[in-house]
Structure 1
Amino acid sequence: MEYLPNIIFAVILILGIGYFVRNIKKIIRNIKLGQDVDASDNKSQRWKNVAYIALGQSKMVKRPVSGFLHVIVYVGFIIINIEVLEIIIDGVFGTHRIGQQVLPEWLYGFLIGSFEILSVLVLVSVSVFWLRRNVIKIKRFLSSEMKGWPKSDGNIILYFEVVLMCLFLLMNATDTIFQNTGSGNVISQFIAPWFEGVSGGTLSVIEKTAWWLHIVGILIFLNYLYFSKHLHILLAFPNVYLGNVEPKGKFNNLDAVTAEVKLMMDPDADPYAAPAETSEDDVPAKFGASDIMDLSQVQLLNAYTCTECGRCTSECPANLTGKKLSPRKIMMDTRDRLEEVGKNIDANNGEFKDDGKQLLGDYITNEELWACTTCNACVEACPVSIDPLSIIIEMRRYLVMEQSAAPMELNNMMTNIENNGAPWPYNQMDRLNWKDEK
């Protein structure tokens, strides 16, 4: 019976981490449903982006208030969870504050003191975030796509953080051995007097309960990430590394189409010559994208990384002028469809069974796609290098090249280019008539 708590702890730890790994494997499998991407270029620039954007939060602080508060939560989340290592060692081996025993007193005190200060700062930041969402009601949190679960999810994660920080401070405040050292209890020393008159046995029960709830809460939080928009905590780094490093506004060309155009423009080409042999890889099975399997793996990673902050939508000129387009919704719809396909695969023993649905039409409408001005404002605004525009462009490409479903204005322009060599409805012989006008 002496080792029963350690056994229970180990079982909870294994189950928690095991379930997390299982869900991460599902995410990786879902992302791999997309098309392969070669990201071997510009490695130095990619690592710089990770350092400045993902680690340094450089794009986040462009909005000073929310950016500064996010940095506090971000730093606090990383640093405070260093203590989880001590909790795991204590839980598995039955020790008590192993760090206090193996580290110099000043160092351990400095670490725990830093954790306590950061926990208070996190509590303040999270409270402000909650007020911005639920009392001040910032406009970008009130869009139609933020109703229901997305709104609840944003609040649930804030409640999680409040509970975890409070349990950490309560655990320290009721630990009499830690309090008696007088080192590192920079915040908890002011909470400890609340328990004056409480017996030592009761105090120990409170401390142990807070300790258990804290570690179980962390494991629940870890596994909640799979169901939450907060997957960006884990995915932001690979997403930024794999993000587009080409100049904004540079669109990708299809090799098969480029080769065809070059042939048409070559004055020496024989139009009656037999076509050159091409491999299946040279000609895409489908032009553009109508479902998630047609998108790239990076675009699907983008969808899972989106934290629904709405900076993209708040910067979108189409959205600001009342159009239906919301870049945030594009990413949320892509993720929802990807999750739907993943569940389909799970239900059919690893095979996808056609469900008669697709991303285009069932989730994202033509109206949304054609409202986009391709200005890249959404791409520039995203703090973790998500690119909604690339998905919009691929789906537009499908509409034009596979379904001939471009708006009338674009069809007229393309017809004019085909017939007249220019987007205007004038014969090539009449182009210079303007110079004769008086």
Structure 2
Amino acid sequence: MTDKYTQFVSHGIGKDLAKKLGLPQPAVLRRYKEGEPLVPGPVLVLGSGNGRTAGSDDLAAALAGWGLDVRRSALPKEKLGAIVLVLDAVEHPEELAGPVLTAAPSLRDLAPGARVVTISRTSASAATPAVAAGRQGVDGLLRSLAKELRAGATANGILLGDGAGTTSPSTLGALRFFLSGRSAFVDGQFLTVTSGAGQLSADPDKPLAGKVAVVTGAARGIGAAIARTLHRDGARLVVVDIPAAGDHLAAVANEVHGTALQLDITAGDAGRRIIDHAVERHGALDIVIHNAGITRDKLLANMDEGRWNSVIGVNIASQLRINEALLGADQLHKTPRIVSVASTSGIAGNRGQTNYAASKGGVIGMVRATAPLLAERGSSINAVAPGFIETDMTARIPFATREVARRLNSLQQGGLPGDVAEAIAFLASDEAGGITGEVLRVCGQNLVGA
């Protein structure tokens, strides 16, 4: 669905009127387009300590190797495409002042759609309270900064586990994702790189080349957008949905040059049938995207067993059974990637959605508990939690409620199905091989939840 308000206040008389009346002025977001530069201008790289660390030097060299125009100090009034703050050496909250305040004046010079990315270490592995305080301080700093940026700029962070460094493959992969237009509706969020696993793609525009991917709930909406994005990135597709959606499913399959599998994913043999179809038709199975989901909203006081059980059955119980089949299958690729669609409702809750929130909270718990089981084989499982996304379902929300929901985030607008698909495509790639057990919110930094 089109956000006509954002279109109106982005140009001409509408822009002038909104400014005079003090109305919200959502920016048109910078989204990925093949062939366009990774960032819209030079990249300023600053490090902790005295402004430089070995980690920031190495990272700056890596970015220069991508053909980016890298700066180690800002030039007056120069429009910047991004600022990267390397804070991995911070050992005390007092050490944040140097690099952060050095970067502060350059925030005024960010180009529209620019990016700010912090790279720091997780507080969980800190040896002392002071180190933990300094590292956790980056969390509050980054989330607050994201709420201050304007003109479609975003701020996100990368956290390094003990096994990861500033130039580990998945650190660079996450940085490339956050710098690019693929992360347009991801704001104020962190991804943790737990290991040095992963591999950067030789072709950033085709990171899924040669992969076989399954997408459930693919007949329309976000599922169809996921299929299109994975196909664009080079994957071969198996699209899955219920028989009642067969015509729409066939249309999506034809569009992405994939194969369609009509299937009720709550069936006990759904996992086996997905594996058999992928192997028989495509010779392999590398990626599974658990997107299928339903809502049956009702206040808990009025909830009946049918509504509750159907939502739990589709949204989480089916994923658990399919994953069990996948992990026990010999045909599955040696390093599979699994990505599930959760929801901000599963993080912060939502009135009238106790069943849905329970199911999506269950997805988050499943992902975190399954990650260690996959780690030994170099595999990964992650989740994406969308916020307000412009779909047929949100289009049915009453107008006033819909408008409020759209504006309740730092970007002051709803996201698009393609925004969710971009995050999923990244997490499904080998570039994210060192990232597992994570839940990435695609919500424009919604004001509800963490």
Q: TM-score range by the shorter chain?
A: under 0.3
Higher relative contact order (CA 8 A, sep 6+): 1
The structure in which a higher percent of residues are strand is 2
Between Structure 1 and Structure 2, whose CA radius of gyration is higher? 1
The structure in which a higher percent of residues are helix is 1
TM-score, structure 2 as length reference: 0.23
